């Protein structure tokens, strides 16, 4: 049975992805959207801990244990390591994940 025993850890790349998302909307002066999107992404990431294995596997990667969830138009890739969930990437779904 799954539980919330998992801990979220952000990769440096995922942190850079969040910074890039922030910068993009900040440069466009879309502050309201930025605030809502930022909160929604964080809520989605924090929610992964409750049922991490319910999320589908990401088949575009060569690693069989990478899973994903979505938030708005963004895909969040993560990997489950025993009791740690590592957030790997966050990117707009219009992008080709093979080019990341």
Calpha distance 40→5 (Å, rounded): 22
Using one digit for the tens of pLDDT, what is the confidence trace for 5-51?
A: 899 999 999 999 999 999 999 888 888 888 899 999 999 999 999 99
Q: Domains for the chain: give ranges and CATH numbers.
A: 7-99 (3.30.2310.20)
- Cut 0.85: pTM above it: yes
Q: In the structure encoding, which two tokens stand for residue 68, read together?
A: 């994903």
């Amino acid at each position: 049975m799954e539980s919330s025993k998992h801990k979220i850890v952000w990769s440096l790349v995922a942190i850079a992805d969040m910074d890039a998302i922030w910068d993009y909307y900040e440069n466009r002066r879309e502050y309201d959207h930025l605030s809502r999107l930022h909160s929604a992404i964080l809520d989605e990431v924090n929610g992964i801990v409750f049922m991490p294995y319910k999320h589908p596997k990401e088949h575009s990667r060569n690693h069989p244990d990478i899973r994903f969830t979505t938030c708005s138009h963004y895909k969040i890739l993560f990997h489950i390591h025993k009791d740690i969930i590592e957030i790997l990437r966050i990117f707009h779904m219009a992008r080709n994940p093979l080019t990341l």
